[in-house]
Structure 1
């Protein structure tokens, strides 16, 4: 990763010159999937609409609602990828946004065609085998958007993601297609509450409610509290989970990379500004089409560094590591776990946001939102303001127009008084994870942990152990959850159910969790995920036994079990590979294709 010292606040004239140069380079860039661009805006759909040999294509287009006259075929055609699902509050409103975006495109002289993609809710599937489809849905969304855009020769793409894996999925597709495209985040949910004067709630509150129920002694009062928490944690207005969980993390990262309009990532779903954002999409897309600004002009090396810096500042999800590596691959950039550690070593953790803090995304929006945070980071030369963005301006130009963080706010601390002086995401290596793993350690739980291993091959057994109190307060325990990686899970399920029970049951200071699966962005506590190699592939995590001493050091970035190489070799001789949990269908294909977590768990390697 490049040093942050090269980042500076460029003058408007400098940015204008660089923007022109970028545009000029883009205009002459060769795309093997398209004819020479010329001056036309319908650079791709022209393949279908100009030739007399494509009469059938044109006939079918005339049968759509947008095409009536020959001149209509000369307009650029842009896809609107609605990541929509009525059964999830994160995604249920996406079609409404898509309709408004289509109107904006029409007013800008662009034909918009809406289509749907799969959408899997992490919150709903969490703690069940349904979670195996969550990460797999990221690549499925990417494939779907790429397929529609490529198959129909669309000139551009607007994507409307809303839940955790949606954002990386659509960004991967935009990177692969490399045609003018942008992302409109569906928005964040406002916090829930059981009544005036009561603490604010969100989906993690609901996850933790069962642990608190157990801690309260399973009484009628405990059940009443549990039920009220569950009923009031999520709001009907919809939006993604409100803390700095994976959805808000990835939306913020996308904005830092320049792939959204300013403010998209921090504007709550229910706010009128989210609707107004849709009205700006048409003019932005027209600019991109006119200047042929494409995702690979925007998602540069510097853009990914911006995303990593903001993720550290905000206390974002461990999933950002997995997803940013995968998105980088889609644009031909090699991003590694070591690059992540390099940024974490030099960037502090500043935002007092859930899950480890007290605020949610709506609170950040009220004090200036992500634009104000980025403005602050640019002023202190922690990000690059010279990268291109989807509205045709460089990031620094957009931030010149942004308001600063409000005076007196305490959502985001100053650099002089960080929550943690280095990043909360740490890349650990050792005899448990020779290929690396990702930890989320804010410092509130300490920076080191030593405990005895309790080994589990599924979450249900962990639940029983906590229910029966065989995992006790005052005893340092490392819960090891394995055979849950990309292939073993399959689909690398998240362990929010486990970590929420640990926190809810008052075990947060006594228990660390280690897995070859993943942890939700809603997780807090001493957690380590993405262990590589995974147990299914014979990684050392498969050789851990109950009682082994495990030591985690988030300063030295190590994770080891106190077991000799000779003992590990003996255990390996006895280890027997396991059969895959599924042997047909989408998940079986995923097992066959997916790479390891340190390389983004991609299926197009």
Structure 2
């Protein structure tokens, strides 16, 4: 039976001309029968230095135990890297966050290809783990299922529910002088109570939900909290499921179709998910040869209401949504209203629609998911903007609380560090904060602007200023914000030509972002523009700058 499934591993285990390879496998504890089994690569992004990932190695061990119980399967654990976005935000370390997605993809592809594994189970936690793993699965196109480590529980201080963004916003309150030292330290010490990814509809939970909706993880697993009985039961479910995809030879390209990506985008928009989903889904689509562009996000956003009252712009956390029915219940609600395509294949071997027949309805009385008759916003929060400031596109996150038009004089900063100081000392109500040289090439690494947006919110300027950047935003960012501006400043984009006082207008009703400069003035400034001088790069960031595509193309490196 195993010979039906060990399509790759048999090349080293059953070839008499490769005795050294077989000797190596005997050395790790395999016997002769084991070498006839299908080998399942179980790749953990676990590492001790991040709550999102601290428990993943334990999950990997549990998954291996369950895989090994399956007839004709043999689990083999390996590891890849992770970067904590929460720890690196606001530091030079954040420049390595997006490049880590590519390193994760490359390393999984490398190990699985070199070791001839027949199937893959990535076990992932923080933001870049998931798209990195999915890019690798697309390139490999071998039977695979993604396992998400789950969301963190709520933190508490005083009478408030807390999460990671609470710490960033407390810093803004400290700048303003509206928080005591006791409360400031209390929030920091208590906002993250243990293992699990950041609790709101931030990037990790956004991508986990999108991947489940796409059909590449087991139904219900994206909303199970990290430290829960439901999460603990997943190892057994996963082991049986990976055997099923091997038996049926279901591959990522069978699941990750154009319609599946449209389903994932629809759910992301309905939930008010992170704008990082744009670059990640574009990169994942490229890995499976699906044509997807930023304009597809606008098309789907135009017809998909924003219905989830989830942080950062709303009230609730992923833990609350889990208790209300979880992602399957939301998907079932969307399917009933004809927002999802139920015919897409999933890793269960069933279609989306067939899986959702078994899903519960949203709990009666829940207040997280609004009806379509009473949405939070009639159109989606992800808006793709064009204009003389973004000739190749930009991504806005407009949830309905910010308004749809902002016009004001520019307050320009060459990097986020200057901006954080400027928010404290320079920025005035009515201004458009411009943070540039923060794109995929310019930073390099396209860092997130969570610290500046949190400082704006904490300083009480959330409704009084806009913030635009060629960098990107954390899923925890909110306010009138526009990122992913392309071309970026480092490539000579107009954002690099803006001066203090230039009037910038962001008009969501027209999907426009423009600076009030004549074409002649822009051309004159271009002639005088010089690429910013930066210290000489080496290693990973040098490679990333040399190979990365624009934000509008997903920041891919191949």
Query: Deviation per CA, 1:287-328, whole angstroms, max 9, x where unpaired?
Result: 111111000000001100000000000000000000000000
Structure 2 counterpart of 1:21: none
For the 8 Å contact 1:206–1:230, the answer to whether it is kept is yes
Change beyond 3 A, Cα 1:130–1:193: same
**Does residue 264 of structure 2 align to residue 307 of structure 1?**
yes
The partner residue of 2:306 within 349, 353, 357 is 349
The number of equivalent residue pairs is 557
| 1:39 CA displacement | 6.3
Query: Deviation per CA, 1:464-507, whole angstroms, max 9, x where unpaired?
Result: 22222x223xx311110101100001000000000000000000
For the 8 Å contact 1:490–1:581, the answer to whether it is kept is no
Structure 1 counterpart of 2:365: 408
Helix, strand or coil at the partner of 1:555: helix
Distance 2:169 2:116 in 1: 47
For the 8 Å contact 2:402–2:463, the answer to whether it is kept is yes
The partner residue of 1:567 within 521, 533, 541 is 521
The partner residue of 2:176 within 215, 218, 221 is 215
Query: Deviation per CA, 1:361-381, whole angstroms, max 9, x where unpaired?
Result: 000000100000001111111
Instruction: Decide which moves more: 97-106 or 490-499.
Output: 97-106
| 1:391 CA displacement | 1.7
**Does residue 381 of structure 2 align to residue 424 of structure 1?**
yes
Distance 2:48 2:537 in 1: 30
Query: Deviation per CA, 1:437-465, whole angstroms, max 9, x where unpaired?
Result: 00000110101111110110112211222
The partner residue of 2:9 within 28, 34, 45 is 45
Give TM-score, length-normalised by structure 1.
0.91
**Does residue 185 of structure 2 align to residue 227 of structure 1?**
yes
**Does residue 43 of structure 2 align to residue 85 of structure 1?**
no
Query: Deviation per CA, 1:44-81, whole angstroms, max 9, x where unpaired?
Result: 0010011100111100011113x12x221110001011
Distance 2:148 2:77 in 1: 16
Structure 2 counterpart of 1:71: 33
Structure 1 counterpart of 2:492: 538
| 1:116 CA displacement | 0.8
The partner residue of 2:460 within 486, 500, 506 is 506
For the 8 Å contact 1:488–1:580, the answer to whether it is kept is no
**Does residue 125 of structure 2 align to residue 162 of structure 1?**
yes
Unpaired runs of at least 5, structure 1: 1-36
| 1:390 CA displacement | 1.1
Helix, strand or coil at the partner of 2:440: coil
For the 8 Å contact 2:56–2:149, the answer to whether it is kept is yes
Aligned 1:577-592 pairs, distance under 5 A: 577-592=531-546
| 1:278 CA displacement | 1.3
For the 8 Å contact 1:386–1:395, the answer to whether it is kept is yes
Aligned 1:218-367 pairs, distance under 5 A: 222-236=180-194, 238-367=195-324
Distance 1:552 1:489 in 2: 24
Distance 1:582 1:274 in 2: 45
Aligned 1:93-108 pairs, distance under 5 A: 93-108=55-70
Structure 2 counterpart of 1:201: 162
